[in-house]
Every structure is written in structure tokens, then in C-alpha cells.
Structure 1
């Protein structure tokens, strides 16, 4: 776990990491590897709610990550398919967009997409209530650090304590 997030969430020993096989199933479906810092974060803190509303699934959690990604991608593409102001960086990666978290307050979804210029993963937030997008310039870890340390959240996201809580009935606890 990147040490920059531990002061806010505590040590990452709360869960067992996902098996190599579970991560492989997810990455085989995607056709590429996920960012290492994201996988490390999910292994330490996934299957949880952050700030009271941001659901981050784990590959072996109560709503397994692969199932979550598949369902949320379908829902996202149906909901946003007719939106006119989608940034070209997202339309260029439309079929490969990867949902990685869901905000249950507003229905917003956090996405990974491949930067067409360098092939690296980038973070975006798709706002559900008024279809707009926030393209994040920072890395996954930087985005999470801003959210957890500075409480710099995307528009409309309330921050509640505790910053981290396990999903009820998580099989990982």
C-alpha cells in the first residue's frame, strides 16, 4: 500500500490480498494489467466504503470486482452513450473503459481509461446526475490522497467519517 494513504486509513492488514488467480481473471477480461498502485490499494482496503459513500470492490469481495466492472461498464455505456459532451479521451477508449468504484450518494462512477498518447491508465469520474466528466491529471494514488487527506472531493461528494469501513457481510473480514 502506498504509505501516503496509510495515515488516513490505517495499516492495510485488514484484508487478505486477492489471489493471483482472482486478479488474473479480472485482467484477462480487460486484456491488460491494472495499475499496480490500484491493485495494492484494493488488496489492502477494498470491499469497503470510503468517506461513507465510495464503494471500492475487491476481486473476492461481496460484489466481486470482475462482476462489478462488467455490470458497471454496461450500465455506464448505456447511460452515457447519447451524451454529447464526452471528452474525446474517453470516446477514444469507450470500449475499454474500466469502472473501479461507485459513489452511492450520487450514482457517480470512477473509471480508468487508457491515455491514447502514452497508453497509461488515467482516472475519470463520470457524474450521473448531470452527465459530465472529470478527467483527473493525477495518478490513482494521488487522486486517493487528495480525496482522503485534503478532502478534495469531486463535486457533490459528501465526506463522512470514518474514512474507511468494511462492507457489511464482507467475506474478507
Structure 2
């Protein structure tokens, strides 16, 4: 995973959060009943709650933050489980095998999910739902690879080319 974080740092810049206490993750993972993938945890621990390219929001689970991941997940799970919203996803929102756990949002209307593996030997995948339509895309890659593709300006449903034509950047959320 260190190589993945190094690649993210090379594109996005040096992280300033550098969280090392596992307690918020343990508490959140206990609440939702799953262990988040290590690449996702490592990136979020390094950068904290941030806005990338004035487009993509990543949040950290530390409860003292104004923008924390656990609160966002609770709110989003409630919304995506509503009958009229559930039809917009390829699988139910939740923490069970094959379900979709919301982990990021974009100002351009996309919601980013981690697809919970069907079993311990299956990989995590990324699903992006376009909020303004019933369209969604399964990306056959882990979160770190998906984020790297986004930072490089590749079209991974959320696309940064118009938001960061020179190079990716980020700002901490308050």
C-alpha cells in the first residue's frame, strides 16, 4: 500500500493530516460491521477530510472533525435505502457482501461507493452513481487505483480534467 500512497502523493502533493490513531476506524467499522480496505484507510489517514480539485470530497472518520466519514455514511445509507433511491443502484446500499458502502461524493453530482466483496478472497471494487440520472458504473479496481486514475485525469465516471487542467490539488475541509 505504501507504493499506492506514494503515487497519490506524487500527483496530489504532500499530505498534511497524517493520522495514526486507529480508534476512529475501529469504532466506525464496528458500527457498520465491516473493515474498510487498507488502501482507502491509508489514503484517508494521510489526507484527512479534503476536497480534491474543488470536486471530490473524501472524509476521515475522526469524530472531532466537522466533516467526518461516519456521519456522511450514516446519512447516505439512509438516503440510498429509501425506496425511490434504491432503484438508482446496482445493489443495495449497506455493509453486506455485494452491497455498496458510500465513501465519497462529488460536487458534480456523483456518489462513490465501495462494493463490499462477496467473500474474503474477492477484491473490493468502486461503483460510481451519477446522481442526476439512473446511471452507474462499476470500476473493476480498488479505491487507490480508482483515485489514481481520477488524479491522472482519466474518466472514471468522475473526471478531473476540467477541474484541474494543470495538476491535481486539494484543500482540507474545515
**TM-score bracket for the superposition, by shorter chain length:** 0.7 to 0.9
- 4+ runs deviating over 6 angstroms: none
Q: Which stretch shows the higher mean deviation, 156-165 or 40-49?
A: 156-165
- Equivalent residue in structure 1 for 2:149, among 141, 146, 149: 146
Task: For 1:80 and 1:158, locate their aligned partners in 2 and report how far apart those are by CA, in whole Å.
Answer: 29
- Equivalent residue in structure 1 for 2:7, among 4, 7, 10: 4
Task: For 2:54 and 2:111, locate their aligned partners in 1 and report how far apart those are by CA, in whole Å.
Answer: 15
Aligned partner of 1:167 in structure 2 is 172
Task: For 1:25 and 1:165, locate their aligned partners in 2 and report how far apart those are by CA, in whole Å.
Answer: 27
TM-score normalized by structure 1?
Answer: 0.81
Task: For 1:140 and 1:3, locate their aligned partners in 2 and report how far apart those are by CA, in whole Å.
Answer: 15
What runs of 5+ residues in structure 2 fail to find an aligned partner?
none
Q: Which stretch shows the higher mean deviation, 45-54 or 114-123?
A: 114-123
| Higher RCO (CA 8 Å, separation ≥ 6 residues) | 1
Task: For 2:153 and 2:141, locate their aligned partners in 1 and report how far apart those are by CA, in whole Å.
Answer: 14
Aligned partner of 1:36 in structure 2 is 38
Q: How well do the aligned residues superpose, as a CA RMSD in angstroms?
A: 2.2
Deviations 1:3-42 (A, max 9, x none): 2211111222x01315211111111122121100100000
Q: CA deviation at 1:168?
A: 4.3
The number of equivalent residue pairs is 161
Deviations 1:47-106 (A, max 9, x none): 1111211110111232111111111111122252244xx43xx24xx4322111011222
TM-score normalized by structure 2?
Answer: 0.80
